[in-house]
Amino acid sequence: MKRFNAKKNAHKYDYDAVVIGAGPAGEAAAMKIAKSGLKVAVIDPRKQVGGNCTHVGTIPSKALRQSVFNIISNRRDPILNQGIDYHLIPLNKVLSKAREVVRNQVETHTRFYERNQVDLIHGWASFKDRHTIQVALSDGAEQEVTFEKAIIAVGSRPYRPDFIDFDHPRVFDSDKILQMDYIVQRIIIYGAGVIGCEYASIFTGLGYKVDLINTQGQLLSYLDAEISDALSHDFRQFGVLIRNNEEIDRLETYDDCVILYLKSGKRIKSDALLWCNGRSANTDSLNLGAIGLEPIRRGQLKVNEFYQTSVDNIYAAGDVIGWPSLASAAYDQGRCAAAYMVGDENARPVQSVPTGIYTIPEISSIGKTEQQLTEEKVPYEVGQAFFKHLARAQIIGERSGVLKILFHRETLEILGIHCYGNHASEIIHIGQAVMESKGGNTLEYFINTTFNYPTMAEAYRVAALNGLNRVF
């Protein structure tokens, strides 16, 4: 990689680098560039930093999930649930905690930009040529910005097919749903991916009847089959009606309801519909044709192993490049793209990413599934720890869940870890650290390590011993 020469570009361009987008990928890229001694600006249409992740995506939805989780816990407690009807709480009321979290996150991340002397330009960016961006500012004025290199980190938005009227007050996507200000008894969720499943948990927790329309044959089929089955089982236990292998024919909207017609001939009547079927990259307003850049499926950009697009001075990171479309990965991708841009020889592309799905309970995994190992004919074995047997889980009242360790039965190398249950997204990082350790990635680590008691982390020792008992 050619190293960035800041002095060479000091007077030729306004900035050594421009980052488009102030979400996780954009922020990480800007901080890396600034710490490398280069002059950088971030362009974003919002007056506050954080991107979709902070304002309409990860942060508000996970804060909402936590509030619903607290409601579920209180509902179970005979002392705390007296005189409260949890079925009569509009969604925007439950979001009061989320708004507080968003404010705090914006304040925290704004300080990062100030401390690192990163210029923030609030407006809509569009390319004029390979070294010039035209910015439509919020006050109606326009500003021209020149740069040596740029990183596109504009994120994504919910995909909206033309035949659905998203302006109707009973039709929502995952951004608009945060504004729901009325009570519903029943809701249809079309799309059973990560976002659809997370919202199915949230609405069920609020007492709504949920019809979950899955275009596939199994929920989250890329997960370990046992984990996917556990999620389906719990959903059905809590009243979610899962309809697999279904596809929309049309949607009728009325003042007091919606009616979904499926190609199988089924008709479903509900108070509202939440569309969760795919996302589109926010590249349509960037005037990419001016720099000879052609988006691929749903506006996404193709990059090489250095996060470069086909235009060599333009990089891209985060949801705009597709997989894995997670805030955690976007942050690392942005940092790596900037590292390659400035010529950091130690930069490594993002490859190993833990899955984090914030259903109730959570799902998290890393490494291979049983299906993959079976297809690859790897001689593996399974170690399990069911949460209901752990003292900590019994104490906190969260007894549903399991930790699975998949390991090579001869070398004891850990090949995959899958967790379903409360705090799964935290628990997985212990296994991740062991899997990525050089020379120490074996089941014996968990057997020979002393864990605090009682803790959820103790599940690793229990699962390791369980798996070792299967080896002969």
Measure the CA–CA gap between 440 and 427, rounded to whole angstroms: 19
Asked whether 334 and 154 are in contact (CB, 8 A), the reply is no
Give the annotated binding-site residues for FAD: 62, 319
Give the annotated binding-site residues for NAD(+): 191-198, 278
Asked whether 260 and 191 are in contact (CB, 8 A), the reply is no
Q: ∠222-155-210 over CA atoms, to 5°?
A: 50
Mean pLDDT of the chain: 93
Proportion of the chain above pLDDT 90, given as a percent: 83
Whether 390 has a pLDDT exceeding 70, the answer reads yes
Measure the CA–CA gap between 107 and 304, rounded to whole angstroms: 34
Whether 193 has a pLDDT exceeding 60, the answer reads yes
Burial of 215 (0-12, 13-18, 19+ CB in 10 A): middle
With residue 73 as reference, give the H or E element that holds it: helix 58-76
Q: Quickly state the pLDDT bin for 4 (edges 50, 70, 90).
A: low
Whether 394 has a pLDDT exceeding 80, the answer reads yes
Predicted confidence at residue 101, as pLDDT, reads 92
Instruction: Single out the residue of 457, 413, 198, 445 nearest to residue 326, CA to CA.
Output: 198
> Mean pLDDT over residues 169-182, rounded?
93
Proportion of the chain above pLDDT 70, given as a percent: 95
Packed helices 424-435 and 459-468: angle between N→C axes, nearest 10 degrees: 60
Predicted confidence at residue 242, as pLDDT, reads 98
> Mean pLDDT over residues 363-376, rounded?
97
The residue ranking higher by pLDDT, 181 or 29, is 29
Task: Pull the structure tokens for residue 350.
Answer: 């993002």
The residue ranking higher by pLDDT, 33 or 98, is 33
> Mean pLDDT over residues 132-145, rounded?
94
> Mean pLDDT over residues 211-239, rounded?
95
Give the annotated binding-site residues: 62, 191-198, 278, 319
Whether 208 has a pLDDT exceeding 80, the answer reads yes
Whether 331 has a pLDDT exceeding 60, the answer reads yes
Whether 1 has a pLDDT exceeding 60, the answer reads no
Asked whether 231 and 220 are in contact (CB, 8 A), the reply is yes
Dihedral angle sign, alpha carbons of residues 29, 35, 41, 46 = positive
Domains of the chain: 15-156+280-342 (3.50.50.60), 171-277 (3.50.50.60), 361-469 (3.30.390.30)
Predicted confidence at residue 269, as pLDDT, reads 98
With residue 31 as reference, give the H or E element that holds it: helix 24-35
pTM: 0.92
Instruction: Single out the residue of 378, 367, 359 nearest to residue 432, CA to CA.
Output: 367
DSSP characters for 286-321?
S-GGGGT----GGG-----TTSB-SSTTEEE-GGGG
E strands along 182-292, which residues?
Answer: 186-190, 209-213, 240-243, 248-253, 258-262, 267-270, 272-275, 279-281
Measure the CA–CA gap between 207 and 218, rounded to whole angstroms: 24
Asked whether 320 and 154 are in contact (CB, 8 A), the reply is yes
Measure the CA–CA gap between 450 and 73, rounded to whole angstroms: 31
Instruction: Single out the residue of 58, 143, 47 nearest to residue 101, CA to CA.
Output: 58
Q: Quickly state the pLDDT bin for 91 (edges 50, 70, 90).
A: confident
Q: Quickly state the pLDDT bin for 96 (edges 50, 70, 90).
A: confident
The length of the chain is 472
